[in-house]
Amino acid sequence: MNYFSRVIVFVVLLFCQRVSSQTSFSFKVVPLGIRGGIDEGNLSSYMLAAENTNEYLCLDAGTVHDGIEKAISNGVFKTDAATVLKKYIKGYFISHAHLDHISGLIINSPEDSSKNLFGLPYCLDIIKDKYFTWKNWANFTNEGDKPTLNKYHYVNLSAEQETAIENTNMYAKAFVLSHSAPYQSSAILVRHEDAYVLYLGDTGADEIEKSNQLHLLWQQVAELVKTKKLKAIFIETSFPDEQPLNKLFGHLTPGLLMKELSDLSIAAGKEAMKNLPVVITHMKPSGNNEQRIKQQLIQQNKLHVKLVFPQQGKMMKF
């Protein structure tokens, strides 16, 4: 092989390596619902699976069936909605028990298959005491009001301890968040092999909540950001910056989100934050809120994270 042939082979191999690195991914996510209110057919819910599998953990469940149908119409799933609901979704993680994060689970429960409900005890106790009761809804779970129909099984997560997600090849660790204290929300760090995704339920900023929950979370994941093992952060931004602080009700604005990410950058390093996918969830659709939130996030993105605005029923890969 002469010199020019070797150069051509080298260039081709380099190109192939770059293409491979750009197209490889560890997780796929199907947003079943992305909003934080009003639009009952598009509320917080994200199906997460490891690459090359159809073994999904549903992160919150505000909207389920409508989102599955939307994903089917977009060509994400090549099967019917009943199959996705009963066979593809292996379990649910519920960050907190507000209706816009759990109503789809409740409404679809009569048609669903047996699976686990993962959450911190604070959240699962509310579901047990307020929702799956025979006064409110048939008790499709394995605990609480009798008779129990034993379709869903509560799995109480211990904060900051990794748990296997049954019927998947993923593992998860939960963290406490403050959502208009003293009400608790939670985050979940999902692992597949040595890759991670961090999903946060509703949360207020530490400075507003008079809390350090987000700061503690950032300390836990900073090393994963440094080593590029954290593939994406899903975090809410519910209101634009014009929202009065006394009417945030445990939510973030673009300015508050960027302050929190700056706190993460102190632990992880600014260079490590560049191009980190930050998926914006739970935008309130009232008026022009969504447009304002997007504009303000882009304007204030001094850390150069990769802002991602999900669309219902369209797959994302990380």
Q: What is the pLDDT of residues 158-172, one digit of tens each?
A: 999 999 999 999 999
pLDDT in tens, 120-150: 999 999 999 999 999 999 999 999 999 999 9
Asked if 157 and 120 count as a contact pair (C-beta separation under 8 A), the reply is yes
Note the pTM of the prediction, 2 decimals. 0.92
The answer, yes or no, to whether the previous bond of 244 is cis (omega within 30 of 0) is no
pLDDT in tens, 14-37: 444 444 444 589 999 999 999 998
Count the neighbouring beta carbons within 10 Å of the beta carbon of residue 76.
Answer: 17
Q: What is the pLDDT of residue 10?
A: 46
For the chain, the average pLDDT equals 94
Count the neighbouring beta carbons within 10 Å of the beta carbon of residue 218.
Answer: 22
Among the ranges given (14-23, 65-74, 271-280), the one the predictor scored with the smallest mean pLDDT: 14-23
Q: Which architecture characterizes domain 25-317 according to CATH? A: 4-Layer Sandwich (3.60)
pLDDT in tens, 47-67: 999 999 999 999 999 999 999
Domain limits, the chain: 25-317
pLDDT exceeds cutoff 50 at 80: yes
Task: Calculate what percentage of the chain has a pLDDT beyond 90.
Answer: 92
pLDDT in tens, 216-247: 999 999 999 999 999 999 999 999 999 999 99
Distance separating alpha carbons of residues 186 and 213, to the nearest angstrom = 10
- The alpha helices in 114-236, defined as continuous H runs, are 121-126, 206-209, 213-226
